[in-house]
Structure 1
């Protein structure tokens, strides 16, 4: 007799078990399990994989083949959206046993990705998986293009047009190149006047493409076309004076200069007015020995490369330096610092 929708049908456990036996074992996307190194991280141009284990509702291996598919997507850093790459992901799925599938992929882009794994067009439990793709260490340091004809290049910076700006120490000037490495223009000449340079070293740019150059005992600020805006400094140890300045960098609208042979970092505003001096000579936590270059990370920590101390010191944006995160020793092996000078 056909049952109505308003009627309640009772069945014994034996009848339910018999019905399940007649219908056969079942598997669903939410009952599947996935594992493997490719779930969390991968490397550019290196294959990795994950294993998909098909199970029934009781957790037992499912012996009938199902449609297992996968897709890798790159997450945009700027918009946090995903971009599908039909070819870039190079994803393949192979059945290794009736209840197990291997998902293999070889990413070609670094950054955060989303790995989607579906069974019968439904996402399995936990999908999509967040995968961080790291650069291929075998490709790090391989030159893409070589620019020749420079007179001991020392510092390098980029402007908003992706032009490369290089200080030429023995050329006593600055050269600007396009992204293909073709020279666009140069400026500077050897001399003591405010718009001239002697052995230019560190170089940096600001948000409006002005160029900051450390030269012999002075700090210069130029327009993007090479016209002098302001020049400060002379040989000495007072505020705003220098003794062989080297590295220069900008952070939070301030200019940080490694005053090398005064063993300190001098800080200026964008108009090159003196703000403060950081450090003194020595090997203590709050001291430097010939600081050569300075950089900041995105969290505002400052990193200083020194010569004689053979270490990189890190501190928060506020003085004093509170820790040294790593140090080196003189030598040629990994993690050994022979000299901080270029």
Structure 2
């Protein structure tokens, strides 16, 4: 597509979607959408967290803010090309001598200046400019001109040198001078000519491009099918309405009210179906737009990007495309025509008036499912209802078809709210004011769903709402759980030291989903990277950081030269790693995604660090120290910001702190190995409250689930305990 935009390439491509003007210092977001730097800075001041103005993807800005984002040099090249090509039009003077209006012009890429023939000849003779890249007018006008038009990139440190090498150890573009000074070849640096690395990166992107087309066709076919169903909504409504009117003509004097109810139900069903199908279509179109946008960007980079541009954005493009391709999409749209049904014959209508007529859908009450989540006094609690069709697939119905009632232990009504969250998925929310047993009744089409009424035990705030596992080596059993994390689906991933395996549990009911063995003598910490892959540390003789697929296939093993006793681990959104390292002088190591060393943090300050977490919104990492009975806060440059805590049994004091995590507000959750307490602190380390005390008195790893629970690994208790957690209830 881009290769055909030669003479009059689309001006909209050069316009920022926010200000609608030509890009000024274009910056690329992780979703591959480009905006002016100033527009993004203004947008970021108005919105936290920052979302892409085009696709609404949440963006975590680098430490430098908007200035730390990649520059879209391909767009810069197009802008240069547009300016240069415009300069070749009749009546445009030379930008040096301001004459020679009618003569041919050339463009100096180094000076970004339009030159006439005379000035160009002088330009080529001057010592400082004789090596500049000058593009003649005939090349600018030629069909392949734009493909050869690239702005030169110079080193930020050595201004007169171009970027000609790529240091694979540092993932950085460097110049010739850099390879002598800061990136000298050796064990820490490996500078390679950019053409070599760019070729490999381009081949990978071309492979991804081939994978996009089948997915696009699948999505487009799904949208076409939804359009067909949407077109049938009106005829279905018309048929059902006419049958309703025909039936009720005989009952008009007795059943006007009921007739209006049925018609209203039909209208609501149509709206619900229409909204559901439209929502489904929009969701799929959203995925289509994202994938198409990524395809366009990727294709432009492959076909027209310079080697430098490929290296600048290649990793980013690859990550974005792989994420989109790996995303599980539900492209099915379960909808069937509804119709009016005569439930009662005419002669019985007087005593059966409430059952006269109805809107029939494919809902099968016997297939509907309710998941009752653990409840805690004073917190908003939820149960989830899924209305199913006979094939056990979620199916839409109208709100009048679902009734919910809850009673507390005294028999009093507990207010509930019913809200449809997605196609056939309903959320029943309530706030219990007392503890003990509550009863929840759920009906669909006046029929009790399987299991209704449900008994719900409401717990106190410091009581775990769910305990997962018991001692053993079987499915669902645990032996020495030490590290815990939450995967991209909200499931709880646990690493067991005794069984030397990772086991994945459903966070709602604690069911074991699957497990896989891990290598290493003493597995310790676990985390999940942005792509859903699982990383596990182990210390001892066969130490290392190992990356596994979601299914448990060993993908990589990292043993950088600077590491010999890894414990706690956390993965940043850009795939960098922070790992606790405990040799004779313990510290934390900041590593590249490939395991290469960046910097050491906390050396000489930490005594016996155990676990680590990072608040990326503030660029602060928190390290628990077993021996110091403290939590240390460092920035990612290695500067100690503050520490908090001391040894003791009182509120805010520690006994061998281990597990640590942070919530979205920056509050810090810490588990004690010495007494099992789990405590919450403010972003500055101020004590807020105690969550609870775990079984066995030893709280190891902690993790925060998306639905508001803190999962705590109880090492000697051989279980995972879940505590209800909410920032608003602290």
CA contact (8 A) 1:292 1:341 kept: no
Give, in angstroms, the shift of residue 219 of structure 1.
Answer: 0.9
Change (3 A) 1:70 1:261: farther
Aligned partners of 1:153, 1:308: CA distance in 2, in Å? 20
State the alpha-carbon separation in 1 of the partners of residues 630 and 718 from structure 2.
16
Equivalent position of 1:247 in the other structure: 611
Question: Does residue 362 of structure 2 align to residue 67 of structure 1?
Answer: no
Contact 2:680 2:687 in 1 (8 A): yes
* Higher relative strand content: 1
Q: Deviations over 1:170-191 (max 9, x none)?
A: 22211112223222221227xx
Partner of 2:534: 164
TM-score by length of structure 1 reads: 0.61
The whole-number CA distance in structure 1 between the counterparts of 2:593 and 2:428 is 36
> Does structure 1 retain, via aligned residues, the 8 Å contact 2:643–2:685?
no
- Per-residue CA deviations over 1:113-170 (Å, capped at 9, x if unaligned) read 787645xxxx649998443289977852414131343322111112223222111122
2:589 is matched with 220
Q: With CA pairs under 8 Å and 6+ residues apart, which has the higher RCO, 1 or 2?
A: 1
Which consecutive residues of structure 2, in runs of 5 or more, have no partner in the other structure? Answer: 1-249, 266-342, 344-350, 374-382, 388-395, 404-417, 421-425, 430-490, 492-505, 699-711, 720-730
The yes-or-no answer on 1:105 pairing with 2:368 is yes
1:177 matches 2:545? no
SS at match of 1:25: helix
SS in 1 for 2:632: strand
What's the secondary structure of 1:261's corresponding residue? coil
The residue number in structure 2 matching 1:303 is 669
Would you say the 8 A contact 1:249–1:295 is kept in 2? yes
| Aligned pair partner of 2:575 in 203, 206, 209 | 209
Matched, 1:153 2:416: no
Structure 1 residue corresponding to 2:646, chosen from 280, 284, 291? 280
Q: What's the offset of the Cα at 1:285?
A: 1.5
Secondary structure of the corresponding residue to residue 144 of structure 1: strand
Choose from 561, 564, 569 the match for 1:197.
564
How many residues are paired up? 253
TM-score, normalised with respect to structure 2:
0.31
Using the TM superposition, name which of 315-324 and 62-71 deviates more. 62-71
CA distance in 1, matches of 2:635, 2:717: 26
Give runs of aligned pairs for residues 32-111 of structure 1, distance below 5 A. 62-69=353-360, 91-93=363-365, 105-106=368-369
Match of 2:168 in 1: none
Query: Where does residue 198 of structure 2 map in the other structure?
Result: none
Q: Deviations over 1:232-282 (max 9, x none)?
A: 3446xxxxx112111101113211100111000001112222111011111
1:232 aligns with 2:601: yes
Q: CA deviation at 1:21?
A: 8.5
Check 1:308–1:299 CA distance in 2 against 1; reply closer, same or farther (3 A cut). same
CA deviations 1:91-134 (Å, max 9, x no partner) are: 315xxxxxxxxx861269x997787645xxxx649998443289
- Partner SS for 1:209: coil
Deviation digits for residues 302-336 of structure 1 (CA, Å, limit 9, x no counterpart): 2111012211001232321121122235379xx99
SS in 1 for 2:521: coil
- After TM superposition, give the deviation of residue 339 of structure 1 in Å: 4.5
Retained in 1: the 8 A contact 2:419–2:428?
no
RMSD, matched Cα: 4.0
8 Å contact 1:205–1:211 — kept in the other structure? Answer: yes
Residue of structure 1 aligned with 2:427, choices 125, 132, 140 = 132
Residue from 608, 622, 628 that aligns with 1:256? 622
Q: Counterpart in 1 of 2:155?
A: none
- 8 Å Cα contact 1:255/1:272 also seen in 2: no
The structure richer in helix per residue is: 2
Question: Residue 266 in 1 paired to residue 632 in 2?
Answer: yes
Aligned partner of residue 23 in structure 1, secondary structure: helix
Whole-angstrom CA distance in 2 between matches of 1:63 and 1:341: 55
